[in-house]
Structure 1
Amino acid sequence: MAAPPREEASLTDHARATLATQESARDRGLVRSVGTWGLAFAIVNGVVGAGIFSLPSAMARAAGAQAPLAYVACALAMAAVVVCFAEASSRVPTSGGSYGYVEAAFGPLAGFVAGVLLWLSSVLACGGIAAAFADGVAALAPVAHDPPVRAGLIAAVIGGLAWVNVRGASPAARFITVATVVKLVPLLIFVCVGLIAMPGLPAQAGTPPPPEGFGRAVILALFAFCGMETPLGASGEVATPQRTIPRALFAAMAFVAILYILVQLVAQGLLGPRLPAAATPLADGIALVSPTVGIVLLVGATLSRLAWIASDLFGAPRVLFAFARDRLLPSPLAALHPATHTPHVAIIVHAALAILLAVTGTFEGLAILSTLATAALYVFSCAAAWRLARRGVALFGAPLGLRALPVAAVAGMASMVALILFARWAEIAGLAIVIAGSAAFFRFYTGVLRRRGG
């Protein structure tokens, strides 16, 4: 029998104490008040976006009746990534989430690149979702098509949700919990009413259009599963994080997987061969049972976007805050509100950039880059979890210590690399430019600080 691989040397007590001091300094002044369910709802909200209201059609076009199996395959791939995130977050539960894991495992340069990927994907997505929200309102109230009205609506929505986050992490988590429940109600109504009504509807005869490919459906499903990393940016404000974060992750992602599979099954049962061509599949399907419920689903799609923005503003600005605390960005971004102890400057800056992206509409051309950035971030995070475990890093009590971590890390990295390789070469080149540019900025900025004696 071959000898087991030699474990990487654990950190010395001095090195572990130094690392703990560095991570604690990043979270100094923050209030750890977010509990398991508050974080779990934030994760569900960050993952279940408005896309689920239209995704069943795209899934049916890609894989036909096998679309639910594509969700299962995607859920298995994401389970590996979730295991890595749970392990890493139990060891380094700090502001910035993935940025903190990667920085503790591989050093400041790799951490900065991971943080840029996390923040960039978040701010681009926030701008795009806000633009989609304005378009949804305009469909109901045509006056919102007017550019000044549209810009004012976007600024009011993002600005208002930023204000909620500035008021405190705990109030923001409570707001997100309520918003997520409001968003999930239409989806749960769709599933429950659809399951009850399906047996009484005429049999759906016929064959769907030829599928474009099961692999493409898995990629589409994987896009829908992304988002857990953004709420984890607020890990520095989570109570008992070594237990709370893993529990919230596992509960949230298990719920999401079950919800997605049920939504797809009900949509296929209600619309049958008409599903691939449906522009609003959930609303169209449930309208066969009740037109009134169909309207509820349309309103639910709009509220879903609103809730998603709230979740983004909860987690993503903490990455800028963490960068500034680590002296990788200007110090004002590290400021805390004197009354609420939230990183209010970072929240305001993130919100302002998201407003600019939404108003100018520049997000659409960068949507794929945002998703690819998330996939690259997952590769970094899986590798970081494995390395942190091998080095015995544990900064906040006993970590999970999952035995299956090596297998999960390899599976997670392989699945994310495969996703990236499915993109066009120009899109892959764009991702490479972002990574190289982030590394160059890090070298330049830290070099300037050294020359100044900072």
Structure 2
Amino acid sequence: MIFGRVKPLDAILATAEKKSLHRSLGAFQLTLLGIGAVIGTGIFVLTSEAAQKAGPGMLLSFIVAGFVCGVAALCYSELASMVPVAGSAYTYTYAVIGELLAWMVGWALILEYAVGASAVAVGWSNHAVGLLSASGIHIPAVISNADALMAHVQLAFGAAATPDLMTAAQTGGWINLPAIIISLVVMSLLVIGTTESAFVNAILVCIKIAALSLFVILTLPSMKTGYFHPFMPTGSVGVFGAAASIFFAYVGFDAVSTAAEETKNPQRNVPIGLIGSLGICTLFYLLVASGAIGAIGAQPVTGANGALLAPGTAEIAGRCAAITGSGAVEPLVCSKEALVHVLQVMGHPIFGWFVGLAAVLALPSVVLMMMYGQTRIFFTMARDGLLPAKLASVHPKFKTPHIVTFVTGIAATIAAAILPVGKLADYSNSGTLFAFLMVAVSVMVLRKTDPTRKRPFRTPLVWVVAPAAIIGCIALYVSLPLTAILVLPIWGAIGLLVYFFYSRSRSYVGRGIIDESGEAAPEATA
């Protein structure tokens, strides 16, 4: 039976103790890691995308996405406290439901972490280019975005040569060099070590929170209620569509659970890090989004023919170029550095420059946590025999999984070089939502199959919370753009081929070489 390969929890915990990574993180560090992974992605990078989909209604979108993440976080907390090892949703599914679905979850998490890291790298690039431009150093468009490349791809596949698309083809760039640079820098930092990465992250989180607090202080007193009307210009469809996209803004919180194996007293500290970071981030999102809307407005823009344009496309890039080229003030939905743009329009260019600087300094912490999560997922899958054992190699000096970090970093760099931030975020969400759904299923299954096992943290009202997480994940998934919806089954089909032609025959559990003590037979470690 393909669902019959379940790795016992006792074996998982024993294996972790035998081959564990160094435990160095506490509750405070975990909370900062969670905040570092969450705050920034949505506010600094995706505010414009959400505004184009929902207008001022993106406030409701943040609440919807936050609610789904909240109920998912409660499910994550129970499992993370019971199974304090690396691997996150992959490990939980392996222990509860079985190897095949665990493989599919691990495969889907590649979309969450590696593609997510690429998305934030592109967002960092946008702010870095803007900051340098404000300082008098202009980076040519040809090497700072890939709008022209995407436009030519669309034209090559038969897209209509609209004025907006042609403008993007003529004025856009071909490769995102700054995104390449930051991806490679973060990869190198992760190879050096977890403790060093967490220390750098803590400093960057403080800078980020200070900048967002400054933004709130400057914008909230100047809010104009007129900018909130119409509140839902694209209706409930737009609100849920924006929620599906900015769901990406919250997903970093589950990277905290992937650090469980490197956490001191994980039964206590992991739930604190998960729920604490999510609560703090949600509050910041609502305050900052309200300030941005109330300061300059957030209504969507339409194409030359009056049709609503999808964010992250070559068409909207061309339309925005035409708007600014006419001398009009750039709409919020067109800005690639939304918060900086708001402060500049309000007449606070110096403060805008500081917020841009904070984004440039702080967004690498999000890239770092995304890559960090991905490397730990790969590390655990390789330790189970589902991926080549070489990927589980630990550097003799730095004590980090250096080979898998290089693999992840290079893949994320390639994606960041050629794809726009909005597309990357939506692709990432498709995998994340599947993983979150499986965590909620696993909590309910384990309550039935192993009710007596110690649960340091118990999900409250589990038979309400877990189904709510499942329904919420499905609702957001079907609200994604069609291309993002299709990414998951196509990527999943590729994963199934890899599993049945490589991983299934090499699985340690499938070969019966992992016992309850977690020990592997000699051939497993060769």
CA distance in 1, matches of 2:128, 2:494: 37
Residue in structure 2 matched with residue 305 of structure 1 by the alignment:
363
Match of 2:107 in 1: 116
For 1:257 and 1:58, the matched residues in 2 are separated by 18
1:384 aligns with 2:442: yes
Query: Structure 1 CA distance, aligned partners of 2:298 and 2:184?
Result: 43
Q: Distance in 1 between matches of 2:128 and 2:375?
A: 26
1:234 alignment partner, one of 259, 262, 275: 259
The reply to whether residue 217 of structure 1 matches residue 239 of structure 2 is: yes
Q: Does the 8 Å contact 1:191/1:262 carry over to 2?
A: yes
**Bigger mean CA offset, 106-115 vs 64-73:** 64-73
- For 1:107, the aligned partner's letter is G
Please name the residue that 2:138 is paired with: 142
The Cα shift of 1:448 comes to: 4.1
Decide whether aligned partners of structure 1 residues 206 and 441 sit closer, same or farther in structure 2, where only a CA change above 3 A counts.
closer
Q: TM-score, normalization: structure 2?
A: 0.74
Show the 5 A alignment for 1:11-160: 18-26=8-16, 28-53=19-44, 55-60=46-51, 62-139=53-130, 140=132, 141-143=137-139, 153-154=178-179, 156-160=181-185
CA deviation map 1:162-190 (0-9, x unaligned): 23222322221121111222222211111
SS of structure 2 residue aligned to 1:400: coil
Which segment is superposed worse, 184-193 or 80-89?
Answer: 184-193
Moved more, 230-239 or 298-307: 298-307
For 1:411 and 1:235, the matched residues in 2 are separated by: 25
1:415 aligns with 2:472: yes
Q: 2:489 aligns with which of 420, 432, 435?
A: 432
- Paired residues in the alignment total 435
- What displacement does 1:340 show? 3.0
Quick one: which of 227, 247, 253 aligns to 2:272?
247
- Kept after mapping to 2: 8 A contact 1:282/1:297: yes
More deviation, 97-106/430-439: 430-439
Structure 1 residues 164 and 56: CA distance shift in structure 2, 3 A = closer
C-alpha deviation, 1:255, in angstroms: 0.6
**Cα gap change, 1:273 to 1:122, in 2 (>3 Å):** closer
Q: CA deviation at 1:218?
A: 3.8
Distance in structure 2 (CA, Å) of the matches to 1:328 and 1:224: 30
1:399 counterpart SS class:
coil
Give the counterpart letter for 1:384 in structure 2: S
Aligned counterpart for 1:184 among listed residues 206, 209, 230: 209
Q: Would the alpha carbon gap of residues 308 and 217 (structure 1) be closer, same or farther in structure 2, given more than 3 Å must change?
A: same
Is residue 335–residue 344 contact of structure 1 (8 Å, CA) maintained in 2?
yes
Measured after TM superposition, the shift of residue 236 of structure 1 is: 1.3
**1:316 counterpart SS class:** helix
User: In structure 2, how many angstroms separate the alpha carbons of the residues matched to 1:266 and 1:148?
Assistant: 28
Paired letter, 1:264? A
Give the Cα–Cα distance (whole angstroms) in 2 for the partners of residues 138 and 58 of structure 1: 19
Once the two structures are TM-superposed, the CA of residue 271 in structure 1 deviates from its matched residue by 2.4
In 2: Cα distance, 1:324 partner to 1:316 partner: 12
Give the residue type in structure 2 aligned to 1:408.
V
The one-character-per-residue Cα deviations of 1:81-111 (angstroms, maximum 9, x if unpaired) are 1111111111112111111111111112111
Q: Which moved more, 1:360-369 or 1:66-75?
A: 360-369
1:116-166 deviation line (CA, Å, top 9, x unaligned): 111232111222332443344344243465659977755543333223222
> How many Å apart are 1:235 and its aligned residue?
2.0
Matched, 1:290 2:348: yes
Q: Which amino acid aligns with 1:32?
A: R
- Residue 206 and residue 155 in structure 1: after superposition, are their counterparts in 2 closer, same or farther (change >3 A)? closer
- Distance 1:94-1:290 versus aligned 2 partners, 3 A rule: same
State the distance in 2 between where 1:159 and 1:76 align.
Answer: 34
- Tell me how far apart the structure 1 counterparts of residues 506 and 228 of structure 2 sit (CA, whole Å): 67
**Aligned counterparts of 1:209 and 1:167: Cα–Cα separation in 2:** 48
Q: Partners in 1 of 2:58 and 2:419 — Cα distance?
A: 31
Structure 1 residue aligned with 2:515:
none
* 1:444 has 2:501 as partner: yes
Q: Look up the match of 1:161.
A: 186
Measured in 1, the distance between the counterparts of 2:342 and 2:300 equals 8
**CA deviation after TM superposition for structure 1 residue 361, in Å:** 4.0
Quote the residue 1:8 is aligned against.
Answer: none
Corresponding position of 1:267: 292
The 8 Å contact of residues 57 and 275 in structure 1, kept in 2 or not, is answered as no
The answer on whether the counterparts of 1:92 and 1:104 sit within 8 Å (CA) in structure 2 is no
Cα RMSD (Å): 3.2
Q: Which residue of 2 aligns with 1:346?
A: 404
User: Which range moves more in the overlay, 77-86 or 54-63?
Assistant: 54-63
Gaps of 5+ in 2: 1-5, 146-174, 302-330, 512-522
Tell me the equivalent position of 1:5: none
Change (3 A) 1:426 1:284: closer
Identity %, equivalent residues: 24
CA contact (8 A) 2:89 2:105 kept: yes
TM-score of the aligned structures, taking structure 1 as reference length: 0.84
Which of 424, 431, 440 is residue 373 of structure 1 equivalent to?
431
